[in-house]
Amino acid sequence: MKKRDAIETKAKILSVAEEIFSKVGFDGARVDDIAAEAGVNKALIYYYFKSKNELLKTLFTRLMEDAKRMLVNSLQSLPDVDGENGYRVLFDTYIRFVTHKRKIIKVAVAESLKEETPMSVVMELGGLFINAEIEILRKEYEKKGLHFPGNQQELLVMEFFTGLSPFLSYAMYKDQWEAQYGVNEEALRNYFYSAFRKTHLTAHLP
């Protein structure tokens, strides 16, 4: 098989696996179904990926790599968090990312809830976003000549539970919310931003 064909085939397998994992859960997914939907022989899946677990690990690795690239690009110009809409560009960047990645995020959250999970990808993702947010806040305080808050544990808790978690919830429930309450995506995003400013961002203002 040509290299280009191999790359396209692997991408197709991963795309189908992500779709099926998000629909029936990782435990409920069957490699036979992934193979059938991808239009490949099951043996080919095992040639590229040693197991169903490796398929999931590859999808999670890709999620983390995409998140890192997004954060690096978004932090090229730090927002003015206490401006009227200074945070909106960064907020929209995060929203676009979690919306685009919502299928694998659903799987990641479900897997993170398993008791035997030692270190979930959700916690790793949280670390990336938290570090990015803390860097933004640190710059804002320095710009105003203020002392950056020293309670690191409280800051970490705030960032994870009131900063990242709402974005994960948005990714998981946006489609259901829009259908349940008859709200379009743009309106939901605007309401979410308004609520986010009044809660998480207000708590961070110097």
Structural domain boundaries of the chain? 1-50, 56-204
Give the integer Cα–Cα distance in Å for 139 and 57.
35
Please report the DSSP string for 175-189 in residue order. HHHHHHHT--HHHHH
What is the token pair recorded at 1? 């098989």
* Cα three-residue angle 106-124-74, rounded to 5 degrees: 90
Q: What is the pLDDT of residues 71-117, one digit of tens each?
A: 888 877 666 655 667 688 889 999 999 999 999 999 999 999 987 76
Q: pLDDT at position 32, please? A: 96
Q: Which of 115-119, 186-190, 200-204 has the lowest mean pLDDT?
A: 115-119
pTM: 0.87
Q: pLDDT at position 181, please? A: 96
**Of all residues in the chain, what percent carry a pLDDT higher than 90?**
62
Predicted confidence band at 9 (pLDDT cuts at 50, 70, 90)?
A: very high
1-50 CATH, one of 3.50.50.60, 1.10.10.60, 2.40.10.410, 1.10.10.10 = 1.10.10.60
Model confidence at 161: pLDDT above 60:
yes
